[in-house]
Structure 1
């Protein structure tokens, strides 16, 4: 029977649970990636599914460092509400910034108080331990192009990162 191994194209479904056991992210549509090909899948997840077969399920506990990283307080800032365009003046609004190099970063409005608006560029689960429940759905040999891309060519896929 085929198992998850280097340069195999693997399709998984997964759920991510926070420290209270609440589902914070769930993907029931299979996500495809090439095992060991710099696909964007978290290394701890790749390690946990290595050697698994189709139909197997694995539960992975991730520390903040293995998952969404530690919080970076330099990514949190507050500005006067008057300096912020109207469409971003709500908690949960997504604001994309671009630096001088053209790299973009998404920030979220996390608070509006006393005429001030707070933006946070940390992932919502930064600094938290999480549990990933991963189901191996399919495994096949990856093509040379898929190995180069780290992803299947036949569908658009998401990634766990």
Structure 2
């Protein structure tokens, strides 16, 4: 069985949790997360963990905040319309949602208010 390498298009299932166990993002059984290794569309530490994995392999990794999105920045708080949130996600105060931005960059959003 081949190992994942740069240039490969891969599909992964994951559950991302914070230090307190709060789930901030996860895939669903019928919707794997798909990306091409080397395109820099995911966190480098996440991509590095996928490199070398074989189909069906499981792995647990820890990504420190400084290797992810960094500390919270009040300058990056914005309002999103409900229509911009995927249908399978119910926005609830405090919920963490992982989204792909228009630039292709992945971001974790925290719901601060629902109106």
- Shorter-chain TM-score bucket reads 0.5 to 0.7
Match of 2:3 in 1: 3
- Pair 1:44 & 2:28 matched: no
Match of 2:33 in 1: 31
| Matched residue count | 85
SS of alignment partner, residue 59 of structure 2? strand
Match of 1:120 in 2: none
Higher relative contact order (CA 8 A, sep 6+): 1
Distance in 1, Cα, partners of 2:26 & 2:76? 26
CA contact (8 A) 1:31 1:159 kept: no
TM-score w.r.t. the length of structure 2 is 0.61
SS of alignment partner, residue 49 of structure 2? helix
Distance in 1, Cα, partners of 2:5 & 2:58? 16
The offset of 1:159, in angstroms, is: 7.2
Instruction: Structure 1: state its 5+ residue gaps.
Output: 77-93, 97-109, 111-123, 126-157
Distance in 2, Cα, partners of 1:24 & 1:7? 27
Match of 2:90 in 1: none
SS of alignment partner, residue 37 of structure 1? coil
CA-to-partner distance for each residue in 1:49-97, whole Å, 9 max, x for gaps?
1111001111111111112212224446xxxxxxxxxxxxxxxxx625x
Instruction: Structure 2: state its 5+ residue gaps.
Output: 81-92, 98-103, 108-115
The offset of 1:46, in angstroms, is: 0.7
Give the aligned CA root-mean-square deviation in angstroms.
2.6
SS of alignment partner, residue 16 of structure 1? strand
Match of 2:13 in 1: 13
Distance in 1, Cα, partners of 2:15 & 2:73? 25
